[in-house]
Structure 1
């Protein structure tokens, strides 16, 4: 018997959990039809892509995040740059889990899926809970890359300002180094659920920031406005700082520069300066915010 295609595997999982979806056009209930399409009660139709994801945007959105940037991000993840962060986020989830309870996680702004996948793998190793993982991003390139690489989640092209899911469907919402929409997060999170937001701290990639933003106000980073905005919408129940150094091999320099928006619009002179410096380490510096309703 031939192995099921990515499309069929994706459609089967969506069919199993179709009750979590709502139409992004009319908010109607949705149903998987013939393992081909999600269709709402008003006949708005969204086909499953052959790569194994569903595009739930009614209009395509252009972003600055291209295929090459997502490739660089996956390389950086695979080189362990985010391992301590992903471990810390995983532990936050594990500490909240009941025994053998079904658990649902939404990664809002999942990019190419590396964070959600690594966190999910850590949960599988340490818990026996059945797990539904859903990753959404407005970038079709990111979701296509996630679906092509990983088959462990439902991957959706979607807008976090108009999430295609029914109310109170997720026990955990992850928002890792990504924009947020807190009104939607409040709608989607279960009553006893948890929002886990990761924001950069002031020393995040400071070795690059010092060169890219030398002499500008961006050289010193502040996350105070982001933190205040989170506290306005959720009860802040826990905060954890995660700071560590990562050793740089020569092969890591190019993807590191390619994965960060810091490099957008910079001069070739500054890019060359970083490459010629032959950095030995970079600083990873994050704050994990835990919020509840």
Structure 2
């Protein structure tokens, strides 16, 4: 009989326990045989049966529930974001060594899982992968679906990781904490932030927000703020328009944080194709 998800995750975390820092007192942590992550001051965090650990030290609410994360998993699994994943993997391969990657705002972990698989398949190197999100439902889904990865419920304002622990920090269509990103980066590491470009999902915006200011989008402010926080910034644009299966449209609507799925009386069958138009911002400290 194989190991339970909880024990297998504890064993994997123990191999990488040097990356953990207590979110309460900031001391080093260890993973015990009892599937607990603890520090010398006896602040303890249990590994859940789904294989994740909850490092939250304060109550937090998320607007995103289980259904949204299941929709995200289906959409990302459909290959809609494959060009993005490939572009990020090509960047990671330039390290030419085993790397440690943290996905901040990872949700249910599908982006990180795809990137890890592509990276390890490409060249036979190892990618230690950790994902953190404040949304517990997302991390539960990640722990349930993706093994040999570290999944944490946590707030980067009270980070559960040591300084300089990661070669790459991913921040895909998610809010950023640049001060913490800089602390967590290894000396030669980089931050990879993905933001929408003007054509991103424009078919949906045109359908739901016709003739309003939400029909168009600009990421100029986000890009400028990124450039203020990192030197040696490069920007790569990924654009692709593909046909979309009708049954995926409701899932795509549901996974967007803009509430499009709450709009009634919209003919979703009008969406025959979808555009993925993203900027990949790459910054070094």
TM range (shorter): over 0.9
Q: Which moved more, 1:74-83 or 1:123-132?
A: 123-132
Q: Does 1:195 align with 2:191?
A: yes
Q: Does 1:292 align with 2:284?
A: yes
Q: Is the 8 A contact 2:24 2:43 kept in 1?
A: yes
Q: What residue number does 2:170 align with? A: 174
Q: What residue number does 1:93 align with? A: 92
Q: Which moved more, 1:229-238 or 1:61-70?
A: 229-238
CA deviation profile, 1:132-161 (whole Å, cap 9, x unmatched): 110111110000001101103111111122
Deviation, 1:211, is: 2.5
Deviation, 1:162, is: 2.3
Distance 2:37 2:9 in 1: 11
Q: Is the 8 A contact 1:62 1:139 kept in 2?
A: yes
Q: Which moved more, 1:251-260 or 1:183-192?
A: 251-260
Of 127, 145, 149, the residue aligned with 1:149 is: 145
Aligned residues: 285
Distance 2:148 2:27 in 1: 27
**Judging changes above 3 Å, is the alpha-carbon distance between structure 1 residues 212 and 283 closer, same or farther for their aligned structure 2 residues?**
same
RMSD of aligned Cα (Å) = 1.3
Distance 2:57 2:174 in 1: 22
Q: What residue number does 1:8 align with? A: 7
- Residue 191 of structure 2 aligns to a residue whose secondary structure is strand
Q: Which runs of 5+ in 2 are unaligned?
A: none
Q: Which runs of 5+ in 1 are unaligned?
A: none
Deviation, 1:207, is: 0.8
Distance 1:36 1:93 in 2: 31
**Judging changes above 3 Å, is the alpha-carbon distance between structure 1 residues 35 and 91 closer, same or farther for their aligned structure 2 residues?**
farther
Q: How does 1:215-226 map to 2 (within 5 A)?
A: 215-226=211-222
Q: Is the 8 A contact 1:37 1:46 kept in 2?
A: yes
Q: How does 1:200-279 map to 2 (within 5 A)?
A: 200-263=196-259, 266-269=262-265, 272-273=266-267, 275-277=268-270, 279=271
- Residue 102 of structure 2 aligns to a residue whose secondary structure is strand
TM-score (norm: length of structure 2): 0.96
Q: Is the 8 A contact 1:236 1:289 kept in 2?
A: no
Distance 1:265 1:74 in 2: 17
- Residue 60 of structure 1 aligns to a residue whose secondary structure is coil
TM-score (norm: length of structure 1): 0.94
Q: What residue number does 1:282 align with? A: 274
Deviation, 1:249, is: 1.2
